[in-house]
Amino acid sequence: MVSIQNLHKQFNKNVVLSGIDLNISEGGIFAVLGPNGSGKTTLIKSILGMVIPNKGEILVLGKTIKNNSTYRNKIDYLPQIANFPSNLKVKELIKMIKDLRGNTTEDERLITLFKLEPFLNKKLGNLSGGTKQKVNLVLTFMFNSPLIILDEPTTGLDPISLIRLKDLIQTEKAKGKTILITSHIMSFVEEVSDEIVFILEGKIYFKGSIDALKTKTNQPDFEHAIASILTDNHA
């Protein structure tokens, strides 16, 4: 699905990614983890072509992403901070994205699912953070793409919406899609993900199942396993 070879990226003098090699196979949920500033978002943005790497190659569905934009048709992306043009209404934004990407009828189902009907005629600038995130989720899930990338999907969501999001992720997984998630909520990661990729100081520190990580770090539960990596490497 996604194959990354020797990826390097630095912003001015700040080295963020230094030689990432990663293969993400088709189907399943992958969690990209790491401390703040470890380069998770940079990695995701490189896959999306928003960040141009200094070195290395990224293949999505077997094709290089360099000088290519059509491959993004196969990716649904949920950005970390829901920043939308504030003078646009929710309805108009959904219509616009549909106009740009092709039609879909999924949006109505998702709007009902997240109870967004009362907000459709409101401007995006006037919405609360959680509601914006729901709009963000609708925009992401309304297209039926084989690769879904979620950057901190749980930010600002209330408990009911969180349950709905988890259900949504599971149904998408059942369709055989590949889902890439970053999150700092360890319980959420433990619940949904099949495999985790741990990034530390711009390199892949660990890739494998949660059980494998527990045995590697000798910790009984997932949260402590992650914490032990961080303390061992920062002590």
Partner 1 sequence: MLKILKYSFYDLMRSRWSYVYLAFYLMLGIVLLFLNNDLSKAVITLMNVIIVLVPLIGTIFGVMYYYNSKEFTELLLAQPLKRSSIFMGQYLGVALSLSMSLVLGLGIPFIFYGIFKSNAIWDFSLLLITGTFLTFIFTALAFNIALSNENRIKGFGYAILLWLFLAVIYDGLFLMSLLVFEDYPLDQFSLFASMLNPIDLSRTLILLKLDISALLGYTGAVFKQFFGTNFGLIISFLALSLWVILPVFRIVRKSKKKDF
Q: Which residues bind partner 1 (CB under 8 A)?
A: 11, 45, 48-52, 69-73, 75, 77, 79, 83-88, 96-97, 99-101
Residue 190 Cα to chain centre, angstroms: 15
In the complex, minimum distance from the CB of residue 190 to partner 1, in angstroms, rounded to a whole number: 28
Shortest separation between residue 76's beta carbon and partner 1, angstroms: 9
Q: Minimum Å distance from CB 215 to partner 1?
A: 37
Over the chain, what HEC string results? CEEEEEEEEEECCEEEEEEEEEEECCCEEEEEECCCCCCHHHHHHHHHCCCCCCEEEEEECCEECCCCCHHHHHEEEECCCCCCCCCCEHHHHHHHHHHHHCCCCHHHHHHHHCCCHHHCCCEHHHCCHHHHHHHHHHHHHCCCCCEEEEECCCCCCCHHHHHHHHHHHHHHHHCCCEEEEECCCHHHHHHHCCEEEEEECCEEEEEECHHHHHHHHCCCCHHHHHHHHHHHHHC
User: Which residues, at least 6 apart from 70, have a Cβ–Cβ distance to it below 8 Å?
Assistant: none
Smaller CB separation from partner 1, 38 or 145:
145
- Looking at the Cβ atoms of 104 and 228, the one nearer to partner 1 is 104
User: CB of residue 106 vs partner 1: minimum separation in angstroms?
Assistant: 16
Min dist CB 122 to partner 1, Å, is 16
- Of 44 and 116, the one with the shorter C-beta distance to partner 1 is 44
The smaller minimum CB distance to partner 1, of residues 36 and 69, is found at 69
> Quick one: 99 or 232, whose CB is closer to partner 1?
99
Shortest spacing between CB 231 and partner 1, in angstroms: 32
> Which residue number, 126 or 187, has a Cβ lying nearer to partner 1?
126
Tokens at 121, concatenated: 């005629």
